[in-house]
Structures are given as C-alpha cells and as structure tokens.
Amino acid sequence: MGNQALLACGMAAGPLFTLAYLLEGTSHVDYHPFRHPVSSLSLGRAGWVQTVNFLLAGLLSLLFAAALWHVGPSRWGALLIGVWAVGLLGAGAFRTDPVSGYPPGTPEQLQRHTRAGGLHDLFSLIGFLALTVACFVFALSHSPGWAIYSIASGVLFATTMALASAAFSQNERWVDLGGLIQRVSLTIGWAWQTLLALHILHT
C-alpha cells in the first residue's frame, strides 16, 4: 500500500468512527448521547459494533502513522499518532465498565473497576494524551496558520476530555452533559487528524 493510500486512511478514520457511533447511539434503548460515553455503546447485545468501530479506527490510524513515519515532517509526531492508534485498539480490545446508569440497572459509578474496564480506561487515557501532544508537535512543522490551529486543537481537545472525565466521575455540574462534551472533544481530535492527513497529502 502506497503512502498516499496510507494518508487517506488517516483522513477516513475520524469520519467513519463518528458516523458509526452516531448511528449506534440511535439504536440502543435507554442510551442518552448527551449523558453517556461513546464507549458505553460496546455494552449489551449489539456492543460488538462499537468494539469493531474502535478497532477499525485504531487500525486506520496506525496505517496513517506508518505513512507519517515515511513522509511526514516529524517522526516524533508519527510515533505519537501511533500511540493514539494503539490507545484506540486497546479501547476496543478491553470493554469499558458501566457508568452513569447505563446499561439500565447498573450504578452511576462502580466502586471498583473490572480488569477489562481499567485497561480500557488506561489505553484511552494514553491515546488521548498522545493525540494532545501530537497536536503541539505538528504545530512546529507547518505554516503559522496551521500552528495556531494545531495548538488550539490540542488545548481544546485536552480541556474537553478533562471535563468529560469529570462528568463520568459523577461531577454534579457536568454529569448530565458528559456524553455531549466527550463528543465535542472527539470531533476536535478527529477533525485535526483528518486535516493533518489532507494537508500532508497535498504538500
């Protein structure tokens, strides 16, 4: 597979991931997108769909990282995108724990994580941190306009993810908006990756 095709994988990962979880969110009974995290879609009978969604996004992002290693302006940036991809793969391999009362009948927050749930959170955190740092690393490699956009994306991605984490920890101020905040954060991150791939593809 040529580098152009691998860069195209980076462009496709975010839109496909987003479309999949938006469609899934409409088909899960008692699932509330404003309140519940995307990861909760992996719970229940049809949870395998979101699991595949994580794995596919991770694989496409990993292929993108391989292209960046060969043609991108920063190998450190390529490594960080690779870590982000591994975070997605780990999030798919290990199923999240219930949170915020979903699925119905589960507590708002478990007192103890299961091993799989703990690993899911760990891989997710590592991935989120890697993508945040990648925004700043790639800000150094392009035009001033791109630098400003990348820095703003990194700051906003990290800030909204922190707010979403507080919501899923049952912070009273944010708990009912945790899913919405997380979706805003994911949109910021995926949009940045998509535009990075497009930018490099046309330079």
Q: Nearest-CA neighbor of 108 among 22, 185, 186, 178?
A: 178
Looking at the predicted structure, is the pLDDT value of residue 101 above 80? yes
- For the chain, how are helix, strand and coil distributed in percent, rounded to 5? 75, 0, 25
Q: What is the mean pLDDT of residues 80-109?
A: 96
Contact (CB, 8 A) for 2 and 145: no
Which residue in this structure is represented by tokens 């987003």? Answer: 18
56: left (phi over 0), alpha (psi -120 to 50) or beta: alpha
pLDDT above 90 covers what percent of the chain? Answer: 85
Domain extent at residue 30: 3-201
Q: What is the mean pLDDT of residues 127-152?
A: 94
Contact (CB, 8 A) for 125 and 147: no
Sort 131 into a burial class: Cβ within 10 Å, 0-12 / 13-18 / 19+. buried
Q: What is the pLDDT of residue 143?
A: 85
Q: What is the pLDDT of residue 58?
A: 98
Looking at the predicted structure, is the pLDDT value of residue 124 above 80? yes
DSSP state at residue 87: H
Q: How many domains does the chain have?
A: 1
77 pLDDT band (50/70/90 cuts)? very high
Q: What is the mean pLDDT of residues 92-109?
A: 94
- pTM score of the predicted model: 0.95
Question: 26: helix, coil or strand?
Answer: coil
Question: 109: helix, coil or strand?
Answer: strand
Question: 102: helix, coil or strand?
Answer: strand
Looking at the predicted structure, is the pLDDT value of residue 180 above 90? yes
Q: What is the pLDDT of residue 203?
A: 72
Looking at the predicted structure, is the pLDDT value of residue 1 above 70? no
Q: Nearest-CA neighbor of 149 among 185, 195, 85?
A: 195
Q: Nearest-CA neighbor of 58 among 80, 40, 83, 36?
A: 83
Q: What is the mean pLDDT of residues 123-142?
A: 94
Per-residue tokens: 88: 């997605």
